[in-house]
Copies of this chain bind each other. A is one copy, B any other.
């Protein structure tokens, strides 16, 4: 029998690019500014790793990657990422915002969120005029995306891959519940996570009693994984800005092997005109596919699920 406690894994995310000549380099703002930004979202910085290009903050609820001229911030739980986004726009100055993308994955428990996507989009629209889109059905997996409509040209290698996985099989979820402290090897090595994209510096955190977060960094390229293993809403997100053009299918296959979800979504951002990726995960069927071009990117959404056989028992919620 399940206790009706839960943790909301599905994330909110912002991407913000500062226009050339638009104020100070973001990394020069210093940790105090980033602590404040993270606090506004109702999260905290747990740790940071840095390289020549990127400061990668591991948060109590997900991650923040700061570059000199752009940043990616991802938060889960009941965080208020839109408050951080509005503060960032003010910090940078709305006229210097070259690109703003705000995304929300469909939540497991949307009634527990402090705001709806639409409310968030209206607040962002007031400072950075833009559009609000839904990729996928309202009664099925979907992502909502707000994007500013200022013209923007993405760099050729500026891609993003998100793999958003639901309903982990129990043996995969169990690896992230009551995690023992690493002994010689990292949790990423022990679970196979470090093989999804090899050769990265890894910053990881195990949560008590359950849960796992990690940032990986190599030459300004990141990947990040956040695991909510609890049965009442198990979920894992994988995201990378590595240029995996032509290899999306292979990276997806490696992530599926570690986390063994029963359904998942893939979201890709690629510079406009990039050849389309084929994603054909073995043992899954396509349930939806949505595509659009905006903000200099071709954006694609796929929703996959494994066919289910036989009859299950219901989940009982403890009263």
Contacts and interface: CB of A to CB of B under 8 A. Distances in A.
Given A131-B319, A317-B118, A317-B121, A287 B305 contact: yes
Given A141-B139, A167-B139, A289 B313 contact: no
A290 B319 contact: no
Contacts of A109: 110, 138
Which of A138, A166, A316 has its CB near the most chain B CB atoms (within 10 A)?
Answer: A138
Nearest to A144: B317
A92 B129 CA distance: 57
Nearest to A301: B314
B263 A118 contact: no
A134 B314 contact: yes
Contacts of A315: 133-134
A291 interface: yes
A189 to B, nearest CB: 29
Given A108-B138, A139-B106, A287-B308, A292 B313 contact: yes
A295 to B, nearest CB: 13
A137 B312 CA distance: 11
B314 A121 contact: no
Chain A contact-residue range equals 35 or more
Interface string A92-136: 000000000000001011110100101001100100001111110
A204 interface: no
Given A131-B319, A319-B122, A137 B167 contact: yes
A111 B138 CA distance: 13
Of the candidates A4, A113, A125, the one having the most CB atoms from chain B within 10 angstroms of its own CB is: A4
Nearest to A9: B139
B286 A308 contact: yes
26 contacts: A4-B118, A109-B110, A110-B111, A111-B111, A121-B317, A122-B319, A130-B319, A131-B319, A132-B319, A133-B315, A134-B315, A137-B263, A138-B233, A139-B166, A139-B233, A139-B263, A285-B285, A286-B308, A287-B307, A288-B308, A289-B312, A290-B312, A290-B314, A291-B312, A292-B313, A301-B314
